Amino acid sequence: MPSVHLSYERKGFGAYSDLGIDRFVHNVFDFDPDLVLSQVAELRADPAPYWNAVGEAVAALRRHRADLVAVLREQRR
C-alpha cells in the first residue's frame, strides 16, 4: 500500500528520497493537512506512478550495490 509519511526525523526523509518518492514525506510538526489529503486521494486513485518511482529507485540501488561489491572485491585482490 503506498503511503504518505509524516516524519519526525531525517531517516524518513532520506528513505523516501532514496526511493524517489520524497514528495510524499512531510515534517510531522509542520505539514499542510490539505496537501496530505490531496496526496492520499492521488495515491488511492492511481498508485502506479508511486510504485514506478519505487521500482526505478530499487533497480538503481541494486546496480549501485553491485558496482560497490565489484570495487570492494577488486580491492581485496
Query: Each residue of 29-61: pLDDT tens digit?
Result: 999 999 999 999 999 999 999 999 999 999 999
Q: How many domains does the chain have?
A: 1
Judged against a pLDDT cut of 90, whether residue 22 lies above it is answered with yes
Query: What pLDDT score was predicted for residue 77?
Result: 79
For the residues 21-26, what does the mean pLDDT come to? Answer: 98
Q: Whole domain around residue 43: which residue ranges?
A: 5-76
Q: Do 40 and 21 touch, CB atoms closer than 8 A? A: no
Sign of CA dihedral 24, 27, 28, 29: negative
pLDDT bucket at 76, cuts 50 / 70 / 90: confident
pTM of the prediction?
0.82
